[in-house]
């Protein structure tokens, strides 16, 4: 299984998923990115530079925290949190943004552009661009701009331009469409720093590679505990970058079970969820093939989740493959469960999670309750929830006794 799982073929396919379905204008640019990335990915200079930034700038390694109170409350398996929320900028996204911006800089690009949903990728990219001296344009749906106000301000403080996207549902998918359009206009001086393990080859591979540090550290940290390996891994899945970050290092450890939590939003009705792998079927969007929520004619469905970073109709091609070979079990968590878990983690452990990560928390809690006490669950706490507090207060304040 090992080489199949870890490396796409040279055209960027994970099984039948991935690839590069681009208008011919963009393909030469993508080929150049692949070529440069393959040249520098294992070069000592690049790795040293990135490792130094991970350590001194991001604050890596992020700790693993034993959630004793929650574990006790659930009465089953022991829950451990990989604290990506403690990274500089408050989420795992900075791991791949530093890699992408370093690469863009080495390629002589002047500007990095990207879409963002919750604003976490946007903030991380704006941060990396500020540090490394590149311009930065972030495309963001107007609905998300209103919801994720603190992150919008953060990006602007960091010197990035935030471009509001007014088309369609004004969320993540439309932001990708518009960023794509802007990229096609000038793929030579700009670098499209895709915000997850999605898009055309080499991005699903490259973003994953930059995120694997999460699992590599976790494996090392966990090796000191009895048993040496966690029994279960849990992460939320929108595009799927934090999940692959945690999972990849454990891929060959067959005793380690892996779970990806997708958002089932308000219901399983069309337009009220983003449970891509649960209800989608293979399709081609934004330059790659993956499970896709779509209608019978092949047009992507509208999607929704309370977590802006998870409402995407597609998903990473490697996840699509991991589902088919049954290496990872994909499950769903709805809005209500995620919000409950958001408060549960805040009040039991004093950690406010991002709404995206709260989906992973919810599933970890569910799983813990079903398992015996000698089992362990390691979940990726991919981001912190400061960005979500205004939204939570407004929408759920009364229900949870804040207002």
| Residues of this chain that bind other proteins (CB under 8 A) | 11, 19-29, 167-168, 173, 176-177, 180-181, 184-187, 283-287, 292, 294, 296-300
* Residue closer to other proteins, measured from CB, 122 or 200: 200
- The radius of gyration of the chain's CA atoms, rounded to the nearest angstrom, is 19
Task: Please state the closest distance from residue 102 (CB atom) to other proteins, in A.
Answer: 25
- Cβ-based nearer residue to other proteins, 187 or 265: 187
Quick one: 239 or 287, whose CB is closer to other proteins?
A: 287
248: nearest Cα among 11, 14, 59: 14
Distance CA 334, CA 309 (A): 14
Q: Which is nearer to other proteins, 150 or 302 (CB)?
A: 302
| CA 197/CA 205 separation, integer angstroms | 7
Least distance CB 232 / other proteins (angstroms):
35
Supply the angle between the helices 203-211 and 213-222 in degrees, to the nearest 10: 30
Coil, strand or helix at 235 = strand
- Cβ-in-10-Å burial (0-12, 13-18, 19+) of 69 comes to middle
Pairing of strands 288-292, 257-265: unpaired
Shortest distance (Å) from residue 180 CB to other proteins:
6
Smallest distance, other proteins to C-beta of residue 278, A: 19
Rounded CA separation 315/295 (Å): 16
Task: State which residue, 12 or 90, has the beta carbon closest to other proteins.
Answer: 12
| Residues forming the active site | 93, 115, 382
Task: Tally Cβ neighbours within 10 Å of residue 149.
Answer: 14
Which has the closest alpha carbon to 229: 212, 245, 249, 209? 249
Residue position matching structure tokens 């092949």: 298
99, 210 Cβ separation under 8 angstroms: yes
Pick 206 or 358: Cβ nearer other proteins: 206
User: How many of the other CB atoms lie within 10 Å of CB of 24?
Assistant: 6
Beta strands in 203-299 (DSSP E): 232-236, 257-265, 281-285, 288-292
CA distance 323 to 184: 32
Supply the DSSP symbol for 230: -
* Token digits of residue 251: 């891929």
Provide, rounded to whole angstroms, the least separation between the CB of residue 86 and other proteins: 36
Whichever of 60 and 201 has its CB closer to other proteins, that residue is: 201
The residues that bridge with 138 in the sheet, in sequence order, are 114, 162
CB of 233 vs other proteins, minimal distance in Å: 32
Q: Express the helix, strand and coil content of the chain in percent, nearest 5 each.
A: 45, 20, 35
Minimum Å distance from CB 279 to other proteins?
15
């Amino acid at each position: 299984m090992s080489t199949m799982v870890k490396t796409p073929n040279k055209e960027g396919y994970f099984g039948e998923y991935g690839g590069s379905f681009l208008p011919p204008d963009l393909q030469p640019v993508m080929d150049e990115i692949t070529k440069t990335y393959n040249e520098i990915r294992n070069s000592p200079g690049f790795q040293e530079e990135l490792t130094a930034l991970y350590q001194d700038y991001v604050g890596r390694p992020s700790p693993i925290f034993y959630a004793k109170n929650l574990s006790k409350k659930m009465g089953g398996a022991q829950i451990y949190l990989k604290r990506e929320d403690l990274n500089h900028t408050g989420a795992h996204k900075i791991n791949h943004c530093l890699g992408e911006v370093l690469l863009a800089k080495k390629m002589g690009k002047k500007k990095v552009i990207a879409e963002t949903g919750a604003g976490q990728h946007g903030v991380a990219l704006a941060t990396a661009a500020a540090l490394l001296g590149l311009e930065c344009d972030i495309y963001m749906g107007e609905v998300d701009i209103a919801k994720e106000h603190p992150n919008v301000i953060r990006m602007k403080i960091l010197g990035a331009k935030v471009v509001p996207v007014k088309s369609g549902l004004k969320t993540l998918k439309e932001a990708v469409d518009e960023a794509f359009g802007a990229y096609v206009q000038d793929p030579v001086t700009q670098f499209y720093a895709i915000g997850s393990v999605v898009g055309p080859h080499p991005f699903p591979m490259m973003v994953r590679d930059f995120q694997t540090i999460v699992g590599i550290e976790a494996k090392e940290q966990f090796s000191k505990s009895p048993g040496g390996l966690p029994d279960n891994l849990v992460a939320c899945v929108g595009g799927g970058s934090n999940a692959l970050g945690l999972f990849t290092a454990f891929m060959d450890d067959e005793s380690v079970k892996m779970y990806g939590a997708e958002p089932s939003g308000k219901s399983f009705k069309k337009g009220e969820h983003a449970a891509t792998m649960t209800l989608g079927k293979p399709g081609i969007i934004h330059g790659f093939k993956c499970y896709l929520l779509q209608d019978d004619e092949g047009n992507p469905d509208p999607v929704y989740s309370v977590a802006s970073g998870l409402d995407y109709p597609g998903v990473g091609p490697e996840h699509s493959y991991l589902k088919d070979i049954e290496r990872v079990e994909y499950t769903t968590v709805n809005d209500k469960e995620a919000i409950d878990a958001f408060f549960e983690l805040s009040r039991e452990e004093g950690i406010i999670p991002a709404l995206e990560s709260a989906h992973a928390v919810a599933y970890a809690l569910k799983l813990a309750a079903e398992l015996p006490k000698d089992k362990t669950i390691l979940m990726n706490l991919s981001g912190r929830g400061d960005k979500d507090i205004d939204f939570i207060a407004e929408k759920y304040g009364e229900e949870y006794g804040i207002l």
